[in-house]
Amino acid sequence: MKMRALLQEVYKSFSTDEELLRLLYYKPESMSDNPLSPTKDDVLDMNEKWDIIEDRIRFSPTADGLLDDDPICRILFYQSPRNALKGNYASSIQSFNIDVFVHREFNDVDMRLAWITDHIGTKMSNYYFQNIGTVRFVYGDNLGAPEGYFGYTTTFEYGDFQW
Interhelix angle 49-56/18-25, nearest 10 degrees: 80
Global pTM reads: 0.90
The predicted structure's pLDDT at residue 85: 62
Residue ranges and CATH numbers for the domains of the chain are 3-159 (3.30.2000)
List the end-to-end C-alpha distance of the chain, in Å, as a whole number.
18
The span from the CA of 161 to the CA of 138, in Å, is 12
Mean pLDDT by 10 residues, the chain (163 residues): 80 96 96 95 98 94 83 93 65 85 96 97 84 84 95 87 46
What is the pLDDT at residue 131?
A: 67
| Residue 30, CB-side half-sphere exposure with 13 Å CA sphere | 1
DSSP E strands in the chain: the ranges are 57-58, 73-85, 88-103, 136-143, 149-159
pLDDT confidence of residue 67: 85
Q: What is the DSSP letter of 57?
A: E
User: d(Cα 158, Cα 136) in Å, to the nearest integer?
Assistant: 6
